[in-house]
Amino acid sequence: MKEKILNILGELRQYAINKGISAAFFYHEEDSYLMRFANSAISLNTNEHLVRLEITTYDGRKRAEYQMITDLNQVEQMKAGIDTAAEMMKHTQPLSYDPTIPLYTETYADESSYDQALAQLSNEEKLAYFNQAAEGLETGEITLSGIFSSGTNITAQINTRSEHTQYFKSSDAQVNLVLSHGAQKWEILAEQSAQQKADLDPAAVHSELAFLSHVYTTTVPQQIPVGTYDIVLGSAAIGDLLDLMNWIGFSGGMMKRGFSFTTQEQVGKPVFSEKFTLVDDPTRRETFPYKRDVSGIERKPFPLFTRGVFDGYTWVQDDADEYGAQPTGHTVMHKSLVLHCGDQPVDSLEALVSMPREKDLLYIPYLHYMNIVNPSRGLITGSSRFGALLLKKDGSVAVPFNVRLTQSLLDIFGEKLQWLSSTEKIANTSMSYGARNPKAIVLPAFIRVNGLEISHSNSAF
């Protein structure tokens, strides 16, 4: 398959050269499977095999792009796409800067993130995983929802500047299981991310769900007062917060366009707590890493914040071209974010619950429907969901109805950050809008943030 793909890319390149067209080609192929559960049944079992090709043509400062969902038998259609992009380009207008066409100096292929056993997991194996992870936890009232999403992702690039190609192949799985109570409407969640089949561990998911389910079925949920709480965030919540930070925190282009809470003057200065160290680390296989970016730049660990100090912006090629910056190897479908762990020994929710505490702690595993209220201030809002707990200082545990948190990332990861757990977790933050793009963040299983305000508290689930 790899041969066929690269041969076709070579043929397209030659076609463009013969016509005197400068062009870059980005190939994306996905084989996607998703088994979806709802009301304790498989509500949908689906798969898609899609081939996408993006053709960008250049003429000095002019640029146009043609994208297609096609298949490998449609080479003539692809060639027609080159002609269309070249024709469009005549009618565009020049940019105010020179766009760079990457120069690949060697042919590069990376299939180290691909595990055939995971990619070709059978329907029966996925169903067996779910059955094991939920075993004994469903009742007439408590039903199972969730997804088992898995697949193969191939990306490849070539352009008219050289005959060299880049090729990347990865396998991934994103699993989540939700138990919900029909009448009481509570919901609890456990998630797992896998890059290879050996990462799948239904027993771990089962044990998380079983613990939460026990607490939720034996405790009467309550509305908690609004006000200030010391909050422990779980891995899914931390992952989504870092995903937002990736958007408005350290992207050079976003900063230049006014959508960032950091400024150029802050580079080299403390922005967050000194407990906060964030790296883009493509050596971590769990992040489905790209070891080269689309510009052909070799990707190495790239510090973003070191002990709270802002190390600098990431630049994708086009923003770097526009704003006169150096590209940093971040012209990729996703980064490989790793938030360093701390020294708090807490390796599971059970351990967190049984930890001695000097005051009440609000545990929020997940923040639903987060949005950016004010990018310049890093202000975000979202609501707790999926298994929050109020850990009382007397050692008892209460179940709170969902609450809303409207806070700045500068506060959450700033001076209020109390500790990070020494145990690591993987938060899979993939979405399936558009082309398959598996991504995950390596992070502490828990972080504690003191003195965050709850602005709204529900009176029911």
Partner 1 sequence: MINELKQQIERLRNAGATYVDARWYPLEESSDLTMWNGNLKNATASRESGVGVRVLYKGAWGFSASSDISQLAGLFDKAFDNARVAAERVTFPVRLAEKDAIQASFTSPNEIDPFTVELSEKVDFLKEMDSLMNQSGVVQRASGMTFMKKQIIFVDSEGSEIEKKIIEVFPAIQVMGVDAQGVTHTRKYQPGRIGATRGWETMDRKLFTDNAARIVKELNEVLVAEDCPRDTRSVILLPGIMFLQTHETIGHALELDRILGYELAYAGGSFVRLEDFGKLQYGSSKLTARADATLPNTPGSFGYDDDGIPAQNNLLIDKGLLVGAITGRQMVEEANAKARKPIFNGSGGANRATSFYRVPIERMTNINIDFGTDGTLDDIVKNTEKGVILDGEKSWSIGSNREQFHFATDIGWVVEDGEVKHVVKNATYRGETVKFYNSLTAVGDESTWEVQYVDNCGKGQPNQVMQLGHGVPVCRFDNVTIGE
What's the min distance (Å) between Cβ of 151 and partner 1?
A: 10
What CA–CA distance (Å, rounded) separates 419 from 42?
40
Among positions 86-105, residues that touch partner 1 (CB under 8 A) are 88-89, 91-93, 95-97
- Stretch near partner 1 under the rule CB under 8 A, chosen from 154-162, 254-262, 408-416, 444-452: 254-262
* By the rule CB under 8 A, 269 interacts with partner 1: no
Site string (3-32) toward partner 1, x via CB under 8 A: -----------------------------x
Among positions 376-395, residues that touch partner 1 (CB under 8 A) are 376-377, 381-383, 385
Judged by beta carbon, residue 170 or residue 344, the one nearer partner 1 is 170
Among positions 51-80, residues that touch partner 1 (CB under 8 A) are 51, 63-71, 73
- Stretch near partner 1 under the rule CB under 8 A, chosen from 102-110, 253-261, 300-308, 414-422: 253-261
* By the rule CB under 8 A, 411 interacts with partner 1: no
Among positions 108-127, residues that touch partner 1 (CB under 8 A) are 123-124, 127
What CA–CA distance (Å, rounded) separates 319 from 329?
12
Judged by beta carbon, residue 260 or residue 344, the one nearer partner 1 is 260
* By the rule CB under 8 A, 139 interacts with partner 1: no
Contact between 334 and 344 (Cβ < 8 Å):
no
What's the min distance (Å) between Cβ of 296 and partner 1?
A: 22
What's the min distance (Å) between Cβ of 368 and partner 1?
A: 5
- Stretch near partner 1 under the rule CB under 8 A, chosen from 40-48, 290-298, 308-316, 417-425: 40-48
* By the rule CB under 8 A, 187 interacts with partner 1: yes
Quick one: which of 7, 14, 19, 44 contacts partner 1 (CB under 8 A)? Answer: 44
Quick one: which of 22, 152, 160, 180 contacts partner 1 (CB under 8 A)? Answer: 180
Among positions 430-449, residues that touch partner 1 (CB under 8 A) are 431-433
Quick one: which of 296, 329, 375, 378 contacts partner 1 (CB under 8 A)? Answer: 375
- Stretch near partner 1 under the rule CB under 8 A, chosen from 161-169, 206-214, 340-348, 453-461: 453-461
What's the min distance (Å) between Cβ of 169 and partner 1?
A: 19
Contact between 11 and 77 (Cβ < 8 Å):
no
Among positions 147-166, residues that touch partner 1 (CB under 8 A) are 147, 149
What's the min distance (Å) between Cβ of 254 and partner 1?
A: 11
The token duo for 242 is 């870092």
Total count of residues recorded for the chain: 461
> Could you give the dihedral angle defined by the CA atoms of residues 351, 354, 357 and 359, in that order, rounded to the nearest 10 degrees?
110
Q: How many residues bind partner 1 (CB under 8 A)?
A: 87
Among positions 328-367, residues that touch partner 1 (CB under 8 A) are none
Quick one: which of 20, 258, 268, 324 contacts partner 1 (CB under 8 A)? Answer: 258
Quick one: which of 11, 36, 210, 348 contacts partner 1 (CB under 8 A)? Answer: 36
* By the rule CB under 8 A, 410 interacts with partner 1: no
